[in-house]
A and B are shown apart, each in its own frame.
Chain A
Amino acid sequence: TQLLEQSPQFLSIQEGENLTVYCNSSSVFSSLQWYRQEPGEGPVLLVTVVTGGEVKKLKRLTFQFGDARKDSSLHITAAQPGDTGLYLCAGARWSGAGSYQLTFGKGTKLSVIP
């Protein structure tokens, strides 16, 4: 069962364009995290959003958590080639056994063409 759906799966845009990546679920999460992964490396945490409706900005990246804490979006303004990579969203929850776990989406592969 895929709990987190990311869209689009692939995105190829020209340098300077804007883009939005979506992360949707039917489940409620205690928080949602966004990671960026480059080839041959592990994912690197970009941001964690915790409160429904929360908006966080990281330079040209804007992250939003849905009011119901089921979905999130990542908006990149004026994309640059250095933004190229795999963007992963991950929903966090505590299991009944006291285990803290992240469930990952399949990712959005972004290519920014100079």
Chain B
Amino acid sequence: GAGVSQSPSNKVTEKGKDVELRCDPISGHTALYWYRQSLGQGLEFLIYFQGNSAPDKSGLPSDRFSAERTGGSVSTLTIQRTQQEDSAVYLCASSDLRERDYGYTFGSGTRLTVV
């Protein structure tokens, strides 16, 4: 598609429930990133997928968080047993690392609220 698409745009869930967030990157972009943006905290790196390489999971805050990328395209971020501190905007970005500026193209994010 023309841009990075994320769904849902908003999600309200009860504490303890599992949630799945979806990201459709730009077609042909081999790199895909998940970030979390909390109020006053900036963007926090979560996980990075590059082609067929093993993902860089170094930013995942706990084992309740996992992500996968199927067929080198769509990615899902799963949060199990959600906690209130998981409330944030989850941003997905993709990048074509063949482009000189290596700029990220972000989606509009999923605003997750855990009540």
A24 CA to B93 CA, complexed, in Å: 24
Chain A residue nearest in CB terms to B3: A42
A31 CA to B91 CA, complexed, in Å: 22
Known: A95-B56, A99-B50. A45 touches B42 (CB 8 A): no
CB of B65 within 8 Å of the partner chain: no
Q: Chain B nearest CB: distance from A114 CB in Å?
A: 26
Q: Chain B nearest CB: distance from A36 CB in Å?
A: 11
Q: Is the CB of B107 within 8 A of A48?
A: no
CB of B108 within 8 Å of the partner chain: yes
Interface size on B, residues (CB 8 A): 27
Chain A residue nearest in CB terms to B41: A106
A43 CA to B4 CA, complexed, in Å: 12
A84 CA to B30 CA, complexed, in Å: 32
Partner of A105, one of B42, B50, B91, B105: B42
- Residues of chain A lying within 8 A (CB to CB) of residue B93: 42
Known: A100-B31, A100-B97, A106-B42. A42 touches B50 (CB 8 A): no
- Measured CB to CB, the residues of A under 8 A from B are 31, 33, 40-45, 48, 50, 88, 90, 92, 95, 97-107
A and B contact pairs by CB, cutoff 8 A, 11 listed: A33-B104, A40-B109, A42-B93, A43-B104, A45-B103, A100-B31, A100-B97, A101-B33, A101-B48, A102-B45, A107-B42
